[in-house]
Structure 1
């Protein structure tokens, strides 16, 4: 079954959404990814249990454009998701987010706890993770910091061919795998996505002041927190922090995973998630 594309009219503009699966509604998105009909590795994990709504946020894909920069902030993105939910007339839905998608999920559950049935947050954080932990690859004390910065700088070049961009992206992703030599085993489907440059720019600036840890204790949403023990992007310590603060949360760490436990330990990930969602 392939992903079906639709354009949704909301009170806050039009949004491009891809759907797949059957059952109760689940929303999946990311702070700066541009999805298409090929789907998403993370979102595919849930289509056997839920009807998944894979959302291109404002300025991503064919969704509405931003008239002002503030429309691309995290809070405004949550308001856009709420407008999408209302357009579908869902009383609530489940949220699943990986990496910066998980950051959106945590914020969503704090702002609108009655609209989230439960959430699955993978490899994420409730505050800036780049400057506060040398375990993060974006921290200057991390041993692979320079390598990552060089790759990011090369990827910013507008003159790259598609093959050059694909090769650089692969090298960047390998830095976030516990077994980088297994890259082609993990990413073995014809799934492609892009990055929205303007959304990434706004997110990078906003992250410097992002911190909602003091709000977590008041959030009663049922939460499954998952993280690879070797995650170099959003290190495990941030998932532990969220789990300790969220009163209705469960934490699972994956011993042989970096930033992609849903690929690196696929079978265990599916077992944990299926048990959590169906119990």
Structure 2
């Protein structure tokens, strides 16, 4: 089943959002991905338990165009997401972010933790991660240049469809623990592209990104997951977030690289469902106490 498109008019402009599933609201976004009605493999992890809102940020898809580069920053993305929440009328929702989506999620949690039922972070970081030698974005990494070449080619909006698919496949394989299983993991890959303007802004911004000293502002339940072999956001950065956030839950996926929700899908779903049950139980208990039960 395809995702349903909505154009949501907010005080910050019109944003393209795709919805699927049923239940409590959960939103997913990524710094520079451009989503379509085919959805997203990460977002699909939540449609059995939630009404999922897959958001194209400013400058992506049919969302409002940015009037300046500043409007493509991570903090502007947070403010845009909050305007969407207000327009939809949700008192609270859950945020799920993978990779750069998780970085935006941390910022959202710092500024609007009272609006979150939970924060789900997968393969992400609380600060600049390019300094780690195990990171593929570090010039010392043996596959650094190949990754950079692929990214630059993918920025070309005039790429033929077959060429784009081939380059995207090669890029994804660099972030799999078992790249030979790519066709199994991505058998039903949704159509998705990259916003060049947003990607360029991120490349400038992430070198000074560091929210580690403010993570104590996040008081909602937090679930952190990462693959042992993650080359994009190495696992030490997920461990750091966990250590700095009292009460957070951390799950390590030993047979995964950057995509544990695909590489260890069954275990990922099991751990996720267990967390949701834990949060629901805790919430119900708190409500009973507040009513003197």
Show the counterpart of 2:90.
90
Show the counterpart of 1:101.
101
SS at match of 2:219: coil
| Aligned-residue offset at 1:247 | 1.4
Q: Write the mapping of 1:89-238 to structure 2, written as runs, cut at 5 A.
A: 89-130=89-130, 132-157=131-156, 160-238=159-237
Contact 1:4 1:37 in 2 (8 A): yes
Show the counterpart of 2:281.
none
SS at match of 2:52: strand
TM-score (norm 1): 0.97
The Cα offsets for residues 95-140 of structure 1, whole Å up to 9 and x where unpaired, read as 001000010101100111101110110000011111x200100101
Q: In structure 2, what is the Cα distance between the partners aligned to 1:156 and 1:190?
A: 19
Q: In structure 1, what is the Cα distance between the partners aligned to 2:156 and 2:60?
A: 19
- Whether 1:23 aligns to 2:23 is yes
Change (3 A) 1:153 1:196: closer
Q: Which runs of 5+ in 1 are unaligned?
A: none
| Aligned-residue offset at 1:190 | 4.7
Q: Write the mapping of 1:28-67 to structure 2, written as runs, cut at 5 A.
A: 28-67=28-67
Q: In structure 2, what is the Cα distance between the partners aligned to 1:270 and 1:73?
A: 31
Show the counterpart of 2:240.
241
Aligned residues: 278
Q: In structure 1, what is the Cα distance between the partners aligned to 2:21 and 2:153?
A: 37
Q: In structure 2, what is the Cα distance between the partners aligned to 1:11 and 1:150?
A: 39
Contact 2:227 2:259 in 1 (8 A): yes
Contact 1:34 1:60 in 2 (8 A): yes
Query: What CA RMSD, in Å, does the superposition of the two structures yield over aligned residues?
Result: 1.1
Contact 1:221 1:248 in 2 (8 A): no
| Aligned-residue offset at 1:232 | 0.1
Q: Write the mapping of 1:8-19 to structure 2, written as runs, cut at 5 A.
A: 8-19=8-19
TM-score (norm 2): 0.93
The Cα offsets for residues 58-101 of structure 1, whole Å up to 9 and x where unpaired, read as 00000001112111111111000000000011001000010000
Q: In structure 2, what is the Cα distance between the partners aligned to 1:93 and 1:233?
A: 27
Runs of 4+ in 1 over 4 A off after TM superposition: none
The Cα offsets for residues 37-74 of structure 1, whole Å up to 9 and x where unpaired, read as 00000000000000000000100000001112111111
- Whether 1:252 aligns to 2:276 is no
Q: In structure 2, what is the Cα distance between the partners aligned to 1:153 and 1:65?
A: 22
SS at match of 2:232: coil
Q: Which moved more, 1:160-169 or 1:262-271?
A: 160-169
Change (3 A) 1:115 1:69: same
| Aligned-residue offset at 1:219 | 2.0
| Aligned-residue offset at 1:162 | 1.5
Contact 2:135 2:233 in 1 (8 A): yes
Q: Which runs of 5+ in 2 are unaligned?
A: 279-293
The Cα offsets for residues 242-268 of structure 1, whole Å up to 9 and x where unpaired, read as 000011211001000000000000000
Show the counterpart of 2:282.
none
